[in-house]
Amino acid sequence: MVLVAVTVIFLVSCGNDTGDSGNTGDTGNTGDDTGDTGTDDTGDTGTDDDTADTGNTGDDDTADTGDTAVECIGISFENLALSTQYTGYEGAPADQIGDPSGQDFISIQFYKEDYSEITELVPGTYNLAEGLNANYGTCLECVLIYEDFDGEAKTYFQQSGTLTISEIKAGTIESKGTISAKLIEVTINSEDYSSTPVEGGGCYEIEAGAWDNICVPDCTGKICGTDGCGGTCGDGCDAEKTCNAEGTECVDYSCTAITIGTAESVDVMESENYWSYSAGYEPSTGEESADEILVQIFAAPSAEDSFDLAGTNYSDSDQRILALEDPVYDTGGNLTGLGKMYFQQKGTISFESFDPATGKTKANISNLRLIEVTIEQGTYISTPVDGGTCLEIAAGTIDIQ
């Protein structure tokens, strides 16, 4: 996705993404009025006819989107990225809405009536106000705007308009399309996920919205390295080699040996199965001295568990080690820029102890190699940088007691 904020993405991301639109998994609507979600909810969608009736039976129908006399504010967006939390897309409006300091994003979500997984979209033009699409609890093509998601959040859902999918990439949910729609402020019921208009609430009209997230691989003149779409050109390189910047040759790694400093607990969210720790490293490899290692845990390990980090990707690994070179912080200590990023390419992390309630842990890291990567907005797929640099840690400890 167009990333909501760097702190959201890299301190809580991928399967626990707090920038999530309010629906996770491929089929289940789990939105509430703040966009908070459960993880991988694929069944509780509130799509039963008796809980989220969208038949527009009259003014007394609380699930009806209704009419509004409120003057709408015109907005637009230029592109949307794939979401990792649901089948659909998300991104930011072209201009700030709501509080100038708040985070806003647009979300397009796709669902099936039978809750089965969507693996490919169908080209066509879809009416956003008719039938099941009239309510968030039942919609199949759903459009939402989250205003000030990180503050006094407001949620807006489609009242009218059309969504057109003009082209798809076979076997994927990548597509090209356009949208024109009016969205009104709603609340979303946490039990049946039905949307109810807010009396006197606000209104936005998407006057110009288009997306193209179809990725076209390109391996012209390359025998290794990235194809630009998350794949590899040629046969790639073995574990002890890296592709040069041109993608024409596999060469030996030349890494900087570093050591980990004293670790600090950054974030503990037991309810979300997320724990994060940070530690500085030396020597500094960037221009500043604030380089750091982030150890992120997304599934509570047991004592004496050991994990091989080889062959993992930032998008789906439960144990992640990420190094940030020259990260940027604001005056309040909030991470605002990531700098150069390195992600695990091989190594082991072993736990001597772990307390999920407090986050206290002792974990040993050995034979770790971190290679320079980019992390794709929306999918969080980490891709090695052709000709990129790398870091190596022979041994290190994360010890929070």
Query: Coil, strand, or helix at residue 271?
Result: helix
**Stronger pLDDT, 34 or 317, i.e. the higher one:** 317
Residue 82: how many other CB atoms lie within 10 Å: 22
- The mean pLDDT of 237-264, rounded to a whole number, is 90
9's enclosing H/E stretch is: helix 6-11
Under 8 Å between Cβ of 208 and 76: yes
- Number of continuous H segments (helices) and E segments (strands) in the chain: 1, 26
**Stronger pLDDT, 170 or 12, i.e. the higher one:** 170
Residue 377 binned pLDDT confidence (cut-offs 50, 70, 90):
low
DSSP string, 161-181: EEEEEEEE-TTSS-EEEEEEE
pLDDT in tens, 63-89: 444 444 568 999 999 899 888 778 999
> Among candidates 217, 221, 225, which has minimal Cα distance to 250?
225
Residue 355: how many other CB atoms lie within 10 Å: 15
> What's the pLDDT at 328?
82
> What's the pLDDT at 9?
42
Specify the length of the chain in residues.
401
Residue 200: how many other CB atoms lie within 10 Å: 9
pLDDT in tens, 116-127: 889 899 999 999
Structure tokens at 76: 């637009």
- The mean pLDDT of 311-331, rounded to a whole number, is 90
Residue 202 binned pLDDT confidence (cut-offs 50, 70, 90):
very high
> What's the pLDDT at 70?
66
pLDDT in tens, 277-304: 999 999 988 886 678 999 999 999 998 8
pLDDT over 90 at 363, yes or no:
yes
> What's the pLDDT at 201?
95
DSSP string, 111-135: --TT-PPP-S---EEEESSSGGGGS
Under 8 Å between Cβ of 72 and 366: no
0.75 exceeded by the pTM? no
Cα separation, 320 vs 314, in Å, equals: 7
